Amino acid sequence: MAVNAAVCGAGAFGRNHLRVYRELERDGETVKLAAIIESNAARAAALKKEWQVPVFSSVEEALAARDRGEISIDAASVCVPTSEHHAVAAPLLRAGVDLLIEKPIAATTAEADDLIALARQHGRVIQPGHLERFNPAVLAVKPLLNKPMFFEAHRLSVFTPRALDVDVVLDLMIHDLDIVLSFAQSPVREIRAVGLPILSDKIDIANVRLEFDSGCVANFTASRVSTEQVRKLRFFQPREYISIDYARRDVLVIDVNGIPGSAAAAANPPAGLAFNKPQVRQAEPLRLEIEAFLESARTRNAPQVSAEDGRAALALALAINQAIAEHAQRAGLA
Ligand SMILES: NC(=O)c1ccc[n+]([C@@H]2O[C@H](COP(=O)([O-])OP(=O)(O)OC[C@H]3O[C@@H](n4cnc5c(N)ncnc54)[C@H](O)[C@@H]3O)[C@@H](O)[C@H]2O)c1
């Protein structure tokens, strides 16, 4: 049976969810784009024409139509601004709807905990929208992980007046925090951070150093006020350097086993570095993410990215913001 899917919040990113649900439907997947929930009246009117599905101005209105038997909603993408995630997601969970909630899962850990409790109580799936987990470059690197000890993440964007309800840590850096948490597999021991508001009244650029219990260290730079677009994660593990370009969806592995003078090179003389480009399957991350979500909704299996993962990334992002505030205080910037 087809999963009846709704998109709640059809702004800049919600439109991508709409497109992917419709593409999946057209490709014969067992999903149907069943409704759009959009509070902006002008946008809602245009969406109705464009997508030819019922459009509602609120979750309550959509659920009332469902109760009257006018539509079915089994699953939904929550793509409203982060500050609204909890207000929109809670009634949907109570009404028995499985949710793909855009990142970050919520604005506070209390809100995230409440959503997790509601999902348990109502037997619902929550998959937080940590899209980079489904980036084919990340998927290609997962089998190569071997005790990574040093990460360097750069995520730079040009300024656009969007997502200004949150700072750059919750907006952009959270993607890399989630990936590094999933790769490092160790609790964070120490956070050093600096951040500044530049064009908005929230932190627009931030640099963070994390140290994990394992001894692994990770540096992150995130900016939404740059002149260029960069999305890179580089890391070192024993005798290996791996570079991921999220935007180009490619991976470079440099193996130092062949360096003259190294133990491995002494045993196996050919000199030089071995450059390797692992095969990366070309697929759209959002499509893979939504396919994984629909699979969980159909099978009731746990989602590939759990609500707890989303909560952990959020908690770390909020701890980083606390460290940024403390640094600002020490530096006389507050
Ligand atoms: N995964 C990614 O790479 C990625 C990229 C961009 C944005 N996002 C996330 O997507 C979410 C939305 O971001 P955006 O840039 O699309 O924002 P946006 O402001 O462009 O769109 C949000 C839409 O939600 C609507 N809305 C607000 N409150 C509503 C409510 N209560 N009910 C129904 N509709 C409501 C607004 O009218 C607007 O159309 C954020 O959580 C953001 O972090 C994720």
Q: Which of 109, 68, 66 has its CA nearest to residue 91?
A: 66
* Residues 206, 203: Cα–Cα separation, whole Å: 7
Sequence ranges of the domains in the chain: 3-130+286-304, 133-283+317-328
For the full predicted model, state whether its pTM sits above 0.85.
Answer: yes
Burial class (CB within 10 angstroms; exposed 0-12, middle 13-18, buried 19+) of 49: exposed
Could you name the CATH architecture of 3-130+286-304?
3-Layer(aba) Sandwich (3.40)
Average of per-residue pLDDT across 30-48: 98
- CATH 3.40.140.10 holds for 133-283+317-328: no
Using the structure block, give the residue that is written with the tokens 């057209």.
26
128-147 pLDDT, tens digit each: 999 999 999 999 999 999 99
Average of per-residue pLDDT across 252-270: 63
| Sheet architecture: strand order including 75-78 | 55-56, 31-37, 3-8, 75-78, 98-102, 126-129
77-117 pLDDT, tens digit each: 999 999 999 999 999 999 999 999 999 999 999 999 999 99
Looking at the predicted structure, is the pLDDT value of residue 259 above 80? Answer: no
- Measured in whole angstroms, the distance separating CA 280 from the mean position of its chain's CA atoms is 20
Backbone angles phi, psi at 62, to 5 degrees: -65, -40
Report residue 320's pLDDT band, with 50, 70 and 90 as the boundaries.
Answer: very high
**Closest residue by CA, ligand 1 atom 25:** 9
* Residues within a 6 A CB radius of ligand 1: 8-14, 37-40, 43, 58, 79-82, 84, 88, 102-103, 129, 131, 162-163
**Closest residue by CA, ligand 1 atom 10:** 79
Report residue 255's pLDDT band, with 50, 70 and 90 as the boundaries.
Answer: confident
184-194 pLDDT, tens digit each: 999 999 999 99
Crossing angle (nearest 10°) for helices 109-121 and 307-330:
170
Atom of ligand 1 nearest to the CA of 57: 33
In what helix (H) or strand (E) does residue 18 lie, and over which residues does it extend? helix 14-26
pLDDT at 269: 47
Looking at the predicted structure, is the pLDDT value of residue 122 above 90? Answer: yes
Q: Which residues of 212-228 are buried (b: 16+ CB within 10 A; e: fewer)?
A: beeebbbbbbbbbbbee
